Amino acid sequence: MSAPDLSTEFLSLPLANPLMNASGVWCTRVAELEALLDSAAGAMVTKSCTLTRRDGNPEPRYRTLTGPGLAGSLNSMGLPNEGHGYYLDYAAQHDYEQKPLFFSVSGLTLDDNLTIVAAARDAVLPVQLELNLSCPNVPGKAQPAYDFAAMDELVTEVASAYRRPFGVKLPPYFDFAHFDAAAEILNRHDHLAWVTCINSVGNALVIDTANESTVIRPKDGFGGLGGDYVLPIALANVNAFHRRCPGKVIIGCGGVRSGEHVFQHLLAGATLVQVGTALYEEGLGVFSRLNRELARLMESKGYSRIADFQGALRTL
Ligand code: SIN
């Protein structure tokens, strides 16, 4: 059998493979974006942007977590970014032939979001706009996706302002009633073409026993959890929205650090799979390693292409 074909499509765009960075990792500055473009990732996304530049939360605001057999991260970055114009300038010179570019938007108010969305619309670029409804780290700002009325209003306003396909990034949900409520809102919008599941598990607390203290400074130590700890939560959300939003593409994010994890996200219904903590820890070489591991696993199962198993999770 010849080597498995990892190529795939996102909204009819061809990709060499289903991997991309998770927004926030390796995507804040142009030099990082250019390195991502040259990496083995199939697509890439910019750091979630606000209307104007932000320094983000005070340091230390990211901690690598190691535990017995588990690896992960806790972050409370607070949306440090260069402001929306910086990323639109990058988007204007991005090589779309090489790989698709997602433009992540996380305005601090409805008006900020609409201003950024209008700027992206008027730039008329082949960029994929994604509305981040799930940043847990801005003090005093709730995650819009945990307030269904606010989420409904924001998605409705953005859909009518943008008038092109766009996506949303969701936080994890933990109850079928919440999967249903979120899906009902998303399914009402034809222009809402994809759903990225999940952002970090917000407001987790990690304690340093020796120092009897928190491990990051912002928000009294509460931050977004990523890595191994969140893989089953991410898979549940990918599969829950894959089942409930049959007309929408699902992008999986959370807990991916091996080819087997990529396979599991695809099996649960993801079309693309993002890498966050593992990219932060390992660097850009993670993409070729994950592609190799995915290909080896597919080969061992007799699969020659992703469509052979994508979304085909069996239940007992
Ligand atoms: C951050 O900058 O705090 C992370 C962004 C996010 O989780 O959406």
Confidence class for position 68, pLDDT limits 50, 70, 90: confident
Ligand 1: centre distance to CA 264 (Å): 24
Whether 140 is in a domain gets the answer: yes
Per the structure, the count of domains in the chain is 1
Interval 262-273 mean pLDDT: 99
The amino acid present at 165, given as its one-letter code, is P
Choose the residue to mutate in 79, 104, 170, 280 for probing ligand 1, maximizing ligand atoms within 8 Å of C-beta.
79
Span 209-219, pLDDT tens digits: 999 999 999 99
Round to whole Å and give the CA distance between 221 and 91: 35
Whether 68 is in a domain gets the answer: no
Kindly report the pTM of this predicted structure.
0.98
Whether 1 is in a domain gets the answer: no
- At 79 the pLDDT is 98
Ligand 1: centre distance to CA 223 (Å): 9
Q: What range defines the domain where residue 264 resides?
A: 8-57+79-200+228-308
- CB distance 170 to ligand 1 below 6 Å: no
Burial 141-156 (b: 16+ CB within 10 A, else e): eebbbbeeeebbebbe
Q: Whose CA is nearest to atom 6 of ligand 1?
A: 135
The burial class, CB within 10 Å (0-12 / 13-18 / 19+), for 101 is buried
Whether 85 is in a domain gets the answer: yes
Residues 6+ apart with CB under 8 A from 306: 5, 6, 8, 18, 266, 298
- CB distance 144 to ligand 1 below 6 Å: no
Choose the residue to mutate in 82, 133, 137, 274 for probing ligand 1, maximizing ligand atoms within 8 Å of C-beta.
137
Task: Identify the H or E element spanning 118.
Answer: helix 110-123
Task: Please check the confidence at residue 224 and state whether its pLDDT lies above 90.
Answer: yes
Whether 262 is in a domain gets the answer: yes
Whether 135 sits among the annotated catalytic residues: the reply is yes
In ligand 1, the atom with minimum distance to the C-alpha of 132 is 8
Whether 65 is in a domain gets the answer: no
Choose the residue to mutate in 27, 77, 102 for probing ligand 1, maximizing ligand atoms within 8 Å of C-beta.
77
Whether 215 is in a domain gets the answer: no
CATH number, position 169: 3.20.20.70
How many residues in the chain?
316
Active-site hit among 135, 197, 245, 253: 135
Q: Is there a contact between 237 and 170 (Cβ–Cβ < 8 Å)? A: yes
Whether 282 is in a domain gets the answer: yes
Span 271-316, pLDDT tens digits: 999 999 999 999 999 999 999 999 999 999 999 999 999 999 999 9
Q: Whose CA is nearest to atom 2 of ligand 1?
A: 79
Task: Please check the confidence at residue 249 and state whether its pLDDT lies above 90.
Answer: yes
- At 169 the pLDDT is 99
Q: Is there a contact between 192 and 166 (Cβ–Cβ < 8 Å)? A: yes
Q: Is there a contact between 237 and 172 (Cβ–Cβ < 8 Å)? A: yes
- At 126 the pLDDT is 98
Task: Please check the confidence at residue 1 and state whether its pLDDT lies above 80.
Answer: no
- At 67 the pLDDT is 80
Residues 6+ apart with CB under 8 A from 8: 14, 15, 17, 18, 42, 271, 272, 306
